[in-house]
């Protein structure tokens, strides 16, 4: 159930791992009549819609596991019609199927259902932010990431960087630069690669006022690194290509912009 690299470490520590056996056990538990059933079902949905695509357990096939996830939802959603988590995983499936507008509807519904569930609200906001970025709707992405920056206890540094990138992509470059300067102050976990990335990238924007074009390029870079480009529609990919081809100034092209972004 865990990524291969982590599984090797676990095996070295003397704990054998068998993914197929683990999945089989969870499937068995999900059909039980006690409290283990919903937990096992959620674990299966998490594995098929989050772990498999993010860690590329099936190579380049980021849609592997969707059939299993949809089958689980079809069986269980009638039993949990008002579950924010089941609605969240429905949104994950729709996102992986590139149905971004439907995914946004599901994530917003899950957010509304999770009235007193702060952590679930945050994972919904995270997905809303990413889906909005995929749709190049930087205003909504900014709203989601800014709320996460202010409310979440997990990696405020990372959320600050995403907030600044999206804010700059809307055209508010002065406000974005202020947030870029906050990234270093929020840097707490020095061994965290995501925070290291955020600080390193924000440092460039902190020293020089960012342009809207550079912030758009930075958002495309993040979408690429986080393997979200396959979820983008063809028209949006075309818009990204056009943004990458625009000149930042009369003397420098967007290729120069990417070189500027590269550290």
User: What gap in Å lies between CA 19 and CA 221, rounded to an integer?
Assistant: 33
Look up the pTM and report it: 0.83
Q: Given a cut of 50, is residue 260 above it in pLDDT?
A: no
- Residue 4 binned pLDDT confidence (cut-offs 50, 70, 90): low
**How many C-beta neighbours within 10 Å does residue 198 have?**
27
CB 176 within 8 A of CB 211: no
pLDDT recorded at residue 62: 61
CA–centroid distance for 207 within its chain: 27
- Residue 251 binned pLDDT confidence (cut-offs 50, 70, 90): very low
CB 49 within 8 A of CB 92: yes
Question: Nearest 5 degrees, angle CA 57-CA 231-CA 114?
Answer: 85
């Amino acid at each position: 159930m865990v990524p291969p690299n982590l599984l090797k470490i676990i095996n070295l520590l003397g704990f054998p791992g068998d993914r197929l056996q683990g999945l089989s056990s969870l499937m068995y538990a999900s059909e039980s009549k006690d409290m283990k059933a919903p937990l096992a079902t959620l674990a299966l949905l998490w594995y098929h819609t989050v772990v498999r695509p993010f860690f590329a357990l099936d190579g380049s096939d980021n849609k592997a596991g969707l059939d299993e996830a949809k089958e689980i939802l079809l069986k269980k959603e009638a039993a949990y019609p008002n579950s924010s988590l089941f609605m969240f995983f429905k949104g994950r499936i729709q996102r992986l199927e590139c149905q971004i507008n439907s995914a946004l509807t599901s994530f917003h519904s899950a957010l509304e259902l999770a009235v007193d569930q702060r952590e679930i609200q945050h994972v919904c906001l995270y997905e809303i932010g990413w889906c909005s970025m995929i749709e190049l709707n930087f205003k909504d992405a900014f709203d989601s990431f800014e709320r996460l920056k202010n409310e979440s206890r997990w990696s405020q540094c990372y959320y600050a960087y995403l907030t600044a990138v999206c804010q700059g992509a809307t055209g508010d470059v002065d406000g974005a630069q202020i947030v870029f300067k906050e990234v270093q102050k929020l840097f707490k976990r020095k061994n965290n690669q995501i925070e290291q990335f955020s600080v390193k990238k924000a440092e460039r924007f902190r020293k020089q006022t960012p342009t809207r074009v550079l912030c758009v390029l930075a958002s495309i870079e993040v979408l690429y690194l986080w393997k979200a480009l396959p979820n983008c529609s063809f028209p949006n990919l075309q818009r990204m290509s056009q943004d990458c081809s625009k000149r930042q100034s009369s003397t420098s092209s967007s290729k120069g912009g990417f070189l500027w972004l590269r550290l």
